[in-house]
Amino acid sequence: MPQTADIVLVGAGLVGLCTALSLLRRGVSGIAVVDRTSISGESTGASAGGLWPGHECLAFASPDIAVRARDAHARLRREFNCDFMPSGLLALVEEGELACARERVRCTRAAGFDAELLAGRALADREPLLRHRGEAVHFPGDGSIHPLKLAAGIASCLRRNGVRICLNEEVRLVDAAGPAIATAAGRISAGTVVVAAGAWTPLLTKLLGWSPPIRPIRGTLLATEAQDAGTLRTVVVGRRYYYWQLACGPVAAGGSEEDVGFLEGVSDEVEADIQREHGGLFPALQDVKFTSRWSGFRPFCGDMCPVIGAVPGSRGVYVSAGHFRKGILLAPLSGELLASEILEGCCPTPAAFRPSRFPLRAPGT
Ligand SMILES: Cc1cc2nc3c(=O)[nH]c(=O)nc-3n(C[C@H](O)[C@H](O)[C@H](O)COP(=O)(O)OP(=O)(O)OC[C@H]3O[C@@H](n4cnc5c(N)ncnc54)[C@H](O)[C@@H]3O)c2cc1C
């Protein structure tokens, strides 16, 4: 580990890596990234890699953020190969929800994304193995990537350009004096510290008297062995879970939201529940076994928005965390926003994302 750095980032998930890349691109040379596991060893590596700005745009604080997130991702993908599959997404419409779905299509188009209602033959042509009586909202611009490939590509670019990436080093202290971080191997004094530690972020910032309401929500995914190309053609979002086929062949399923703290592993009930919905939607795949299962901790923030910017009351300490279900999509934009704030002193981050919305703890509380 270096003893000094211009900027040190805690966390080598996609959010930390994209932030480091944005800083590098703006001319910062002394960057260090410290992680207690590996490159994308937590939520990033466990994620589905879904880029669903169309499907999710109405769930953003403003749909404009979804447009900017989509565009920032597209810029990054021009440089880093990450198996992007522009497969489109089908969100199934349940009985009695057709009027809602029509309104959703209208609002999504107004926000700048393609969306259409499909049913019958048109739906069967899009996803032949799907058995669904009603309609689905089709978002043709959505797709997915391989998040580990993207993270690995960014990490090797960072290393080639002199960024020090220190793995298997747990940060035990973020010290506002300096500022600095400390691990068992020593201390790094830096002009700036960025905490991008996903669901673990408040465990570090609470030492500074500030705890954003970020906590883990476990998500489980299952995958089969490789299947024929085109077994699934789109991402299918059902009532509880979602389904898609990876570029390398396996069909994957899941996306549970489990409020179990940092309890690791996969619950048999959740696995059975995913299999049940999968079997109902894709009866032709009933005999295809899920052979892998894993889970990860999404960084959930109480108001459903990420927290990006200066830590209140601490000079030189910044945070980028709480991206919950959208961190893979939002990471490139988050990196650009935070790099601008750190280097240019401006605050381009939407108000809904700013850390100052969560007050400092009063001394002694
Ligand atoms: C099952 C599942 C499916 C998902 N699907 C999608 C999806 O389709 N699309 C999407 O956009 N998002 C998805 N997500 C969410 C996405 O994965 C996260 O929002 C995103 O990865 C958050 O990135 P991050 O870098 O903030 O956190 P992480 O990837 O968790 O990285 C945080 C890093 O900080 C490190 N760290 C923590 N504490 C310390 C410490 N004290 N010292 C040193 N290092 C530390 C950790 O080791 C970790 O590497 C999914 C998540 C899960 C679990």
The domain that holds 165 is classified in CATH as 3.50.50.60
Residue 220 shares a structural domain with residue 267: yes
Residue 236 shares a structural domain with residue 251: yes
Total number of domains constituting the chain: 2
Residue 205 shares a structural domain with residue 257: no
Its pTM stands at 0.97
Residue 72 belongs to a domain: no
Determine what percent of the chain is predicted with pLDDT higher than 90: 94
Among 258, 274, 301, where does a domain finish? 301
Residue 118 shares a structural domain with residue 262: yes
Residue 195 shares a structural domain with residue 278: no
CA atoms within 13 A on the CB side of 356: 7
Ligand 1 mean position, distance from CA 196 (Å): 9
Residue with the nearest Cα to atom 19 of ligand 1? 327
At residue 362, the pLDDT reads 60
Pocket of ligand 1 (CB under 6 A): 10-16, 34-37, 40-44, 46-50, 170-171, 196-198, 200, 204, 219, 221, 255, 296, 298-299, 321, 323-329
Q: Tell me what the pLDDT averaged over the chain comes to.
A: 96
Domain interval for residue 340: 4-46+148-213+303-357
Please report the atom of ligand 1 found closest to the CA of residue 323: 19
Model confidence pLDDT, tens digit, residues 280-293: 999 999 999 999 99
Q: What is the DSSP string of 289-304?
A: PEEEEEEEEEEEETTS
Crossing angle (nearest 10°) for helices 14-25 and 327-344: 40
Residue 229 shares a structural domain with residue 349: no
Residue with tokens 């747990």: 170
Ligand 1 mean position, distance from CA 299 (Å): 7
Residue 250 shares a structural domain with residue 283: yes
Ligand 1 mean position, distance from CA 298 (Å): 6
Residue 53 belongs to a domain: no
| Nearest-10 Cα torsion for 332, 335, 338, 343 | -120
Q: Which residues of the chain have pLDDT under 50?
A: none
At residue 117, the pLDDT reads 98
Residue 289 shares a structural domain with residue 323: no
The domain that holds 220 is classified in CATH as 3.30.9.10
Residue 143, CA distances (Å) to 54, 104, 214, 252 in order: 10, 19, 27, 14
Residue 115 belongs to a domain: yes
Residue 120 shares a structural domain with residue 238: yes
Residue 42 shares a structural domain with residue 133: no
